[in-house]
Structure 1
């Protein structure tokens, strides 16, 4: 690790986050249980966590993200989602670890090498639902639309893009949003969303490591979820990562000091802080004129 960057490419971030899921799962008060995470993250994932600046202490927002997405996902399934389209799925073991109906169709989509690695690691495990693996480079517009049309064949469709959008350019996110609405005919879209303030924050903490690994953070729209409106999406639910960290008791060590300081800040700045990082559920709507 001393001779190479902690992160070699975007796919390495899945190993990194898997170790955070493993560490949380091993707590006596765990918010979720992922018994596969340590195996999936492996030695490389552990090395990344150790090499990243503040690698251990910065786990809390990613742990919160997993827990909140689990909650919203299960609620959407209960509300009638028939297909889950999980894009850049990485090492997401939700089809194995969550109490999902056997009839649910889950499409695990990622680059071929990531799909091969995940399938190899999980070969002896049995998913809870109808799990299908799709190897696809989503940057290829034709291939992307083929995958989305395949998803649309059994709706309603719930899309998950956990940890994906932040690595994309705004134009790429716009194209993805349009195709999810028009081709996948998705009803719901569950994602995490950064802000410009978050991009500045992570650049100061992890910027060099992710830049060297060809995985820079890019997407954090100033307009928040309004960015998606022209492509047929509206905000159905907003969860502030900060608020959820307090609710779930996974806040950072200095959280109490930040809260005290917030009492003396203008309300607009406090609200901007709440929306710095979020988990959002978008719903399909008619595109704006």
Structure 2
């Protein structure tokens, strides 16, 4: 059987594999019937390798921490989609990877379109798997796959979205899951600027980020700090670009837990910011 092993974004396969594990649980926080096919044969090993670094992330006795984090973050975003779908007509998924929400969530029927933005190799691989191995992956709304490398200085999010029918005059829901921490110091600021430039007043941003404040991972690997984003930095960078009504969540908080957290205290390394475009 052909797989997605030639797909370059390994993290997307790892997350798909971990979503497939969650979907098999009797107490699953969500059901993703497509995840297993999207994980390829590398997803499982990548997940196990990540678990070996649990100590670095502050969980020395919890090697399964990332599997649970994937379950929690997926459910958290699902809930935000369901919360805002009745009031927003477009969704933009930044760094969509192997996400399957348009296909598995009926709430997407409220959107006029969902824009799935990622590198061309990612979108191509995902489309190939959907067409070959999934039985009926019909989406609940029109989906536009937008090819964009977020570090490409010659292409802009605004132009690429505009070419695929995005309406920058209406409020939209922007999702950024597992993306900004891979963009480096300049890339993370560029992403926030690019999103702000296309977000109409009333838009909502759901941003997953890594706050390295007090992180052992940052101490062992200073490069982590380049991609990390503290709450203060997020508030400043986004606030200067017209965002407000900030809400911050860390893995282990009551709203970012779902009974799965086993640490001693919430982990800032696995955080979310939810905010609204006010001007």
Q: Which has the higher helix share?
A: 1
Query: Displacement, 1:176?
Result: 2.0
Indicate how the Cα distance of structure 1 residues 231 and 245 shifts in structure 2: closer, same or farther if over 3 A, else same: closer
Q: How does 1:20-59 map to 2 (within 5 A)?
A: 20-52=18-50, 53=52, 56-59=64-67
Question: Which residue matches 2:58?
Answer: none
Q: Confirm or deny: 8 A CA contact 2:7 2:121 kept in the other structure.
A: no
Instruction: Give yes or no for the alignment of 1:107 onto 2:115.
Output: yes
Query: Displacement, 1:171?
Result: 2.7
2-structure distance, mates of 1:229, 1:245 = 23
Q: Give the one of 238, 241, 266 matched to 2:251.
A: 241
Q: Confirm or deny: 8 A CA contact 2:91 2:114 kept in the other structure.
A: yes
2-structure distance, mates of 1:194, 1:8 = 28
Q: Confirm or deny: 8 A CA contact 1:240 1:275 kept in the other structure.
A: yes
Indicate how the Cα distance of structure 1 residues 70 and 243 shifts in structure 2: closer, same or farther if over 3 A, else same: same
Indicate how the Cα distance of structure 1 residues 23 and 196 shifts in structure 2: closer, same or farther if over 3 A, else same: same
Q: How does 1:138-287 map to 2 (within 5 A)?
A: 138-141=150-153, 142-149=155-162, 150-153=165-168, 155-185=170-200, 187-197=203-213, 200-201=216-217, 218-221=227-230, 223-227=232-236, 228-244=238-254, 247-252=257-262, 255=263, 258=264, 273=266, 275-286=268-279
1-structure distance, mates of 2:250, 2:215 = 16
Give per-residue Cα distances to partners, 1:234-262, cap 9 Å, x unaligned: 2433333211477511112xx3xx26xxx
Cα RMSD between the aligned structures? 2.9
Give per-residue Cα distances to partners, 1:32-69, cap 9 Å, x unaligned: 00011111012111121233315644312221111111
Give per-residue Cα distances to partners, 1:179-206, cap 9 Å, x unaligned: 22223436111111221237534776xx
Question: Which residue matches 1:86?
Answer: 93
Q: Confirm or deny: 8 A CA contact 2:213 2:230 kept in the other structure.
A: no
Q: Give the one of 138, 141, 147 matched to 1:126.
A: 138
Q: Which has the higher contact order (CA 8 A, sep 6+)?
A: 1
Instruction: Give yes or no for the alignment of 1:68 onto 2:76.
Output: yes
Query: Displacement, 1:275?
Result: 4.4
Indicate how the Cα distance of structure 1 residues 245 and 158 shifts in structure 2: closer, same or farther if over 3 A, else same: closer
Give per-residue Cα distances to partners, 1:114-145, cap 9 Å, x unaligned: 10111111125211111111112222243322
Query: Displacement, 1:15?
Result: 0.4
Q: With structure 1 as the length reference, what TM-score do the two structures score? A: 0.77
Indicate how the Cα distance of structure 1 residues 66 and 103 shifts in structure 2: closer, same or farther if over 3 A, else same: closer
How many residues were matched structurally?
Answer: 254
2-structure distance, mates of 1:140, 1:30 = 38
